[in-house]
Amino acid sequence: MFKWFFSRLSRRLGFIFALFVILPMFLLDVFLVKSQKKQFIHELTESQYVQARLINSQVDSSFYVTGFESVLQELAVRLSQISGARITLIGKDGVVLGDSNVSVDSIQKLPNHKNRPEVRTAMAGQSGASVRYSDTLKEEFLYSAVPVFGNKEIKGVVRVALPLTKINDQFSHVRSSIFWLSGILIMAGLIISIWVSRSISQPVQKMNDLAHRMAEGDYDVRLRDLPRDEHAGLGEALNRMAEKIKKTVSDLTQEKVQLQAVFASMVEAVVAVDETGRVFVINPSFSRNFGVSQEDVSGKSFLEVLRQSQLAGILEEVLSTKVEKSEEIQVFNPDLQIFDAHAYPLMKAAQCRGVLLVLHDITRVRKLEQIRKDFVANVSHELRTPLASIKGYAETLLDGALNDKKNRRDFVAGIESQADRMGKLVDDLLELSAIESGKRSSSVETVDLKELYEDLIPSLEPAAKKNQVKIHIKSLKSISPFQADRNQLKQVFLNLLDNAVKFNKPNGTVVVTAENIAHGIKVVIEDTGIGIPEEDLPRIFERFYRVDKARSRELGGTGLGLSIVKHIIEGMGGSIQVESVLGKGSRFLLFIPA
């Protein structure tokens, strides 16, 4: 719909004109009509205050108690007939004692008024006013109330009310006039914009038709009978361009047919050199991989095109031996890329006329192999220690410690502790695998960040008390609830806060702050702990990577927590960064899209 609306010049001009009409009218409504209405209600309020004070002077303050309802009701009706307003007399406990618009029998059925805004203000000793809908009379009223004093204390409240129906009707009429005026101006603008756009678009349409016919292969088409204005110059330029394209296409057609047969279905990077080692053709894959174009490389030596001595050596060897060669090479472009290179001699009449070099990118394959090797090595290393401990405890028990009543429970507890450590490692691996594969189910709900942190504190208090660390939660009340996976967020903050407590110093602190920013929430978790060396910061989110390996294992860490945190945050569309100074502490900065 949006694309269709702006696809025509007349529609765009009409939209712009309508916008310039609607915007001033809108501003007129907002700043003039509404301000006038506000001023009118203000003046009316002041007038009601005067009426209420006059009424106050006519009634003895001692009457504002239960038992004088009939007297106050009669007085309210009489004063209403004089002033033309609704008069309500209210006791200091909020009970209505008289109302000019309600019968005496219905007075006791009226709800208590102590929580009405204007009454609440009057009970505090000041004049109060409010505009709201009356459930009793089924229309909008302006209410103004003043306190009734007796013996220097508040005995009750006098409230004066006037319906705003006529005022609203008058201002609705003004808005209606503005609306109709806007409609007339918009219609006039649309008619003018259609006329202007047609005078511009017709020559452009002719040029558009010319371009389409040229794109379809008709290079003999020309523009005629254009108006003698800016369009004429553009039309002549298009005519000249058609002549040049016709000649260029004819020259390129034969060359294009030859190259299409070679490169049509190849995804590998391909480059061909002649017998002198000069490049004469490359394919699009080569261009994308190495950032060069066909025009940049034609007639240049291979080393001028790509400064890769290993590839140049393969080409020279094939040119001299006339035997194909395969080799795995590494190229920094600027990042490391690994290619399986195949060079084939281009033979003609028993002579080598050049070499065709085909490069198959196997970087991802090698990286996956390396990741697999590292993963197996890391998991084996992580499991070896608890397994050795379990085996040691078991052998000790089998060697006779089963009868050692003093120590055998310690040995069994050690086995249980190491088994728990292995179980946590397996759980973290399964968790990380589920997150990376995208198979972990997500349950989106409304999350209150302050409430989430309050749920986490009890589980962190034992470690914080043991390490003498204080956790301060700040600036969370101002964060509005947002939609996210509560369990995943809880896991993120639990990991980060647990690390901040464990790797802190005695009498250290952990401070959590948050603020609303564009498109989300920024959360900062800052500690006064041991910090992270600068050279370790780029690798801190890698799986199994530990800064202080001995202390991390001693505290029961698996080396997967921060990796899980990063995967969860990035899976939500957010980001996480870390800043740290060795010996002074660390700051983790999270962006959570809301």
Burial of 565 per CB tally in 10 Å (0-12, 13-18, 19+): buried
Res. 53: pLDDT tops 80: no
Distance CA(402)–CA(408), nearest Å, equals 6
Higher pLDDT, 377 or 73: 73
Same-domain pairing of 65 and 169 = yes
Distance CA(100)–CA(54), nearest Å, equals 16
pLDDT for the residue numbered 555: 47
Work out how many domains the chain is built from and give that number.
5
Res. 83: pLDDT tops 80: no
Res. 7: pLDDT tops 60: no
pLDDT for the residue numbered 379: 65
**Quick check: 88 and 69 in contact, CB under 8 A?**
no
- pLDDT tens across 417-466, in order? 667 666 666 666 666 566 665 566 667 788 888 888 888 888 888 888 88
Distance CA(214)–CA(402), nearest Å, equals 94
Report the DSSP beta bridge partners of residue 397: none
Distance CA(512)–CA(500), nearest Å, equals 11
Distance CA(580)–CA(530), nearest Å, equals 9
pLDDT for the residue numbered 232: 62
Higher pLDDT, 124 or 200: 124
Best-predicted range by mean pLDDT among 148-157, 170-179, 345-354, 581-590? 581-590
pLDDT for the residue numbered 551: 47
pLDDT for the residue numbered 548: 57
The DSSP annotation for 46-88 comes to: HHHHHHHHHHHHHS-GGG-STT-HHHHHHHHHHHHHHHSSEEE
Same-domain pairing of 160 and 91 = yes
Q: Rounded mean pLDDT of 183-209? A: 68
Q: Rounded mean pLDDT of 71-95? A: 80
pLDDT for the residue numbered 433: 62
Report strand pairing: 153-163 vs 351-361: unpaired
Which among 361, 381, 396 is the end of a domain? 361
Place of tokens 């702990």: 529
Structure confidence at residue 8 as a pLDDT band (50, 70, 90): low
Res. 326: pLDDT tops 50: yes
Same-domain pairing of 239 and 344 = no
Q: Give the distance from CA 322 to its chain's centroid.
A: 59
Place of tokens 């997150």: 435
**Quick check: 150 and 62 in contact, CB under 8 A?**
yes
pLDDT for the residue numbered 16: 66
Same-domain pairing of 375 and 484 = no
* 561-571 vs 486-502: helix crossing angle, rounded to 10: 150
**Quick check: 497 and 525 in contact, CB under 8 A?**
yes
pLDDT for the residue numbered 139: 77
Q: Rounded mean pLDDT of 157-171? A: 75
Which helix (H) or strand (E) element contains residue 90?
Answer: strand 86-91
pLDDT for the residue numbered 199: 66
Same-domain pairing of 234 and 270 = no
Structure confidence at residue 202 as a pLDDT band (50, 70, 90): low
Q: Rounded mean pLDDT of 273-284? A: 84
pLDDT for the residue numbered 550: 45
Q: Rounded mean pLDDT of 30-58? A: 71
- pLDDT tens across 531-588, in order? 888 887 777 777 666 665 544 454 445 567 777 788 888 888 888 888 888 888 889 9
Instruction: Please name which of 431, 472, 464, 384 lies closest in space to residue 563, comparing C-alpha atoms.
Output: 431
Residue 159, SS3?
strand
Q: Give the distance from CA 61 to its chain's centroid.
A: 61
Structure confidence at residue 341 as a pLDDT band (50, 70, 90): confident
Tokens of 350: 């028993």
Same-domain pairing of 289 and 345 = yes
Same-domain pairing of 210 and 87 = yes
pLDDT for the residue numbered 552: 46
Res. 42: pLDDT tops 80: no
Q: Rounded mean pLDDT of 203-217? A: 71
Structure confidence at residue 156 as a pLDDT band (50, 70, 90): confident
CA distances from 189 to 14, 19, 68, 209, 340 (A): 6, 10, 68, 29, 66
Lowest mean pLDDT among 27-41, 323-337, 446-460, 500-514: 27-41
pLDDT for the residue numbered 540: 78
pLDDT for the residue numbered 329: 83
Same-domain pairing of 533 and 515 = yes
Which among 216, 250, 276 is the end of a domain? 216
pLDDT for the residue numbered 490: 84
Distance CA(510)–CA(80), nearest Å, equals 66
CB atoms within 10 A of CB 229: 10
Report the DSSP beta bridge partners of residue 421: none
Same-domain pairing of 324 and 432 = no
**Quick check: 77 and 89 in contact, CB under 8 A?**
no
Structure confidence at residue 487 as a pLDDT band (50, 70, 90): confident
The DSSP annotation for 522-582 comes to: EEEEEE-SS---GGGGGGTTSTT--SSHHHHHHTT--S-HHHHHHHHHHHTT-EEEEEEET
Q: Rounded mean pLDDT of 93-122? A: 81
Q: Rounded mean pLDDT of 291-303? A: 80
pLDDT for the residue numbered 377: 62
Q: What percent of the chain has pLDDT over 70?
A: 69
Q: What is the value of pTM for the model shown?
A: 0.39
**Quick check: 384 and 399 in contact, CB under 8 A?**
no
Same-domain pairing of 68 and 208 = yes
Structure confidence at residue 197 as a pLDDT band (50, 70, 90): low
CATH number for the domain spanning 28: value is: 3.30.450.20
Show the domain range for 100: 1-216
Which among 149, 183, 216 is the end of a domain? 216
Q: What percent of the chain has pLDDT over 90?
A: 0
Res. 240: pLDDT tops 70: yes
pLDDT for the residue numbered 485: 80
CATH number for the domain spanning 381: value is: 1.10.287.130
Best-predicted range by mean pLDDT among 177-191, 496-510, 553-567? 496-510
Same-domain pairing of 236 and 100 = no
Same-domain pairing of 97 and 207 = yes
CATH number for the domain spanning 450: value is: 3.30.565.10
